[in-house]
Amino acid sequence: MTTQLHPDGPVLIVGSGLAGWSAAREFRKLDTTTPVTLITSGNGDFYPKPALSNALAQGKSAEQLVTTPAEKMAATLGVSLMPQTEVSGIDLPTQQIMTSKGSLAYRQLVLATGAHPIRLSFAGDAANEIVSVNSLDDYVVFRNRLPAQARVLIMGAGLIGCEFANDLATSGNTVQVVDPNKLPLALLLPPQASAELQASLSELGVQWHLGTSVAELNRIDGELSVELANGTTVAIDVVLSAIGLRADIALAKAAGIATDRGIIVDATLQTSAPHVYALGDNTQYASDSLGSGSGNTSRTLPYVMPIMNAARALAQTLNGTETEVRFPVMPVTIKTPALPLVVSAAAPGTAGTWQTLEPGIWHFVDADARVLGFVLRGAQTSRRAEQAKLVAL
């Protein structure tokens, strides 16, 4: 164990999303006296990020999505909050971080910096008008750009794209979805389930441009015109990008901490640097934390349940009991009321085939007939706990 330079120093947490606040909450359950400081570039309000993709149909404003204001979170947990503070660097040898409000020493440092929307470059004079929704502030911008009965083009027919398509269409907007794949949610669902989802969203009025992509965006006579790679041109009011997230690894990478698709951690969530840990959407979890469905490959897990499991294990380690995280089967509910879905996916690239167990239940099995994942549709979503027990860990 590397010598701790600041044994009486604070635990510093960078990031105020679910990962940052969960790490603080779980640690406080075990240790009520060690100073904890949470640093965020925003204001630190606590809200459920998954709610961003179905808030319109519920008629919720950005303010209504906040479940606990930052000041109350900090007071309840006994945490020092540093809002509107940028972290510019980590000095690993001296165990300090540099911020826009000065340098801070740490006993342990937790990086919960999350992920950013992937942004692609497009031709045209309106390419900068594309919006993404990955935070409460993004949601405000998006809502402010939506006229009544808006025409919205969604780039991406993945999980978030389909959730927004359902939400926007239910809210009285005209929705078109463009994606290079031939079916929505093609990377998560068996083809039959993808086709059923496409049909269900089509019944809400969603229009599909599959097997193609956006090529150019222009303002023509004050109207937003989008040209697709297949030559189709559509006139819309707003373009929403939902093509995925990229882990925010900049701070760690600049400090020399090992990174790949995310910040690389071991089973105890420690990075390659002593006393520095990571969890959340920015983190690439060790394969031995993920079970047999990992395909023996470390990967990011941009979902809620992995964060909660990681936060509990990390709290033990920060409190002096080194604890490895072991992720259980963590099914994901896809918020598409037009066709309710629950997915427990194997790692991308895992060899296997989809098999229909019974109507509305599909298993992803390997060559040894082990169940590595499943999909439930409609009323079968109530059987998630039963099906989770069948997945090989």
The reported pLDDT for the residue numbered 348 is 83
Question: Rounded to an integer, what distance in angstroms lies between the CA atom of residue 166 and that of residue 307?
Answer: 26
In this structure, is residue 124 part of a structural domain? yes
Phi, psi of 56 (to 5 degrees): -65, -50
- Burial per residue of 247-262, b for 16 or more beta-carbon CB atoms within 10 angstroms, e otherwise: bbbebbeebebebeeb
pLDDT in tens, 347-364: 888 899 999 999 999 999
Q: What is the pLDDT of residue 3?
A: 72
How much is the average pLDDT of 271-298?
83
Average pLDDT over residues 2-11: 82
Q: Which of 77, 78, 63, 21 is nearest to 44 (CA)?
A: 21
Does the structure show a pLDDT above 60 at 27? yes
156 shares its domain with 225 = yes
Dist CA 233 CA 215 (whole Å): 10
Label the pairing between strands 108-111 and 115-117. unpaired
In a domain, 92, yes or no: yes
253 and 229 fall within a common domain: no
Q: How many domains does the chain have?
A: 3
Domain annotation covers residue 326: no
Confidence band of 291 (pLDDT split at 50, 70, 90) = low
Asked if 209 and 253 sit in the same domain, the reply is no
Is 129 part of a structural domain of the chain?
Answer: yes
- Core vs surface per residue 94-105: b (16+ CB within 10 A) or e: ebbbebeeeebb
With bands split at pLDDT 50, 70 and 90, how would you rate the model's confidence at 2? Answer: low
Could you read off the pLDDT of 225-284 as tens digits, one per residue? Answer: 999 999 999 999 999 999 999 999 999 999 999 999 999 999 999 999 999 999 999 999
2 lies in some domain: no
Amino acid at the residue 88: S
Are residues 224 and 169 part of one domain?
yes
Residue 325: inside a domain: no
How many CB atoms sit inside 10 A of residue 356's CB?
A: 13
B/e letters for 162-175, b = 16+ CB within 10 Å, e = fewer, are bbbbbbbbbbebbb
Per-residue confidence (pLDDT) for residue 211, from 0 to 100: 98
How sure is the predictor about 299, in pLDDT bands with cuts at 50, 70 and 90?
A: confident
Kindly state whether residue 4 falls inside one of the protein's structural domains. Answer: no
* pLDDT at site 367: 94
For 4, phi and psi rounded to 5 degrees?
A: -85, 115
Q: What percent of the chain has pLDDT over 70?
A: 98
* Helix (H) and strand (E) counts in the chain: 9, 25
In this structure, the answer to whether residues 378 and 295 fall within a common structural domain is no
Q: What pLDDT is recorded for position 70?
A: 97
Which phi and psi (to 5°) does residue 300 adopt? -85, 155
Average of per-residue pLDDT values in the chain:
95
Helix axis angle, 18-30 to 304-318, nearest 10°? 40
Answer yes or no: is pLDDT of 297 > 80.
no
pLDDT for the residue numbered 17 = 96
pLDDT at 292 over 90: no
Confidence of residue 296 (pLDDT cuts 50, 70, 90): low
In a domain, 217, yes or no: yes
Q: Supply the pLDDT for residue 294.
A: 52
Question: The tokens of 174 are what?
Answer: 């005209």
CATH at 373: 3.30.390.120
* Lowest model confidence (mean pLDDT) among 2-16, 75-89, 343-357: 2-16
In a shared domain, residues 125 and 235: yes
The DSSP call for residue 34 is S
Q: What are phi and psi of 280, to 5 degrees?
A: 105, -160
User: Average pLDDT in the 139-147 region?
Assistant: 95
Q: 206 with 222, same domain?
A: yes
Answer with the one of 258, 287, 318 that is the final residue of a domain: 318
Output the domain CATH number for residue 272: 3.50.50.60
108 and 142 both lie in a single domain: no
Instruction: Tell me, yes or no, whether 141 and 235 share the same domain.
Output: yes
182-206 pLDDT, tens digit each: 999 999 999 999 999 999 999 999 9
Q: Which of 241, 269, 292 is the last residue of a domain?
A: 241
Tokens of 147: 């006229």
Statement: residue 122 has pLDDT above 80: yes
CA–CA distance from 275 to each of 91, 104, 287, 389 (Å)?
Answer: 12, 14, 21, 36
Q: Which of the listed residues 192, 213, 241 is the one where a domain comes to its end?
A: 241
Residues 217 and 230 in one domain: yes
Grouping H, G, I as helix, E, B as strand and the rest as coil, residue 213 is: coil
CA dihedral 39, 44, 49, 55 (to 10 degrees): -160
Task: Say if residue 347 is in the same domain as residue 313.
Answer: no
Domain range for 186:
119-241
6 vs 212, which has greater pLDDT? 212
User: Which residues are 353's β-sheet partners?
Assistant: 365
> Among candidates 362, 381, 370, 378, which has minimal Cα distance to 191?
362
Residue 88: CB atoms within 10 Å:
11
What pLDDT does residue 349 have?
A: 83
Strands of the sheet containing 283-285, edge to edge, are: 263-264, 283-285, 299-300
304 and 250 inside one domain: yes
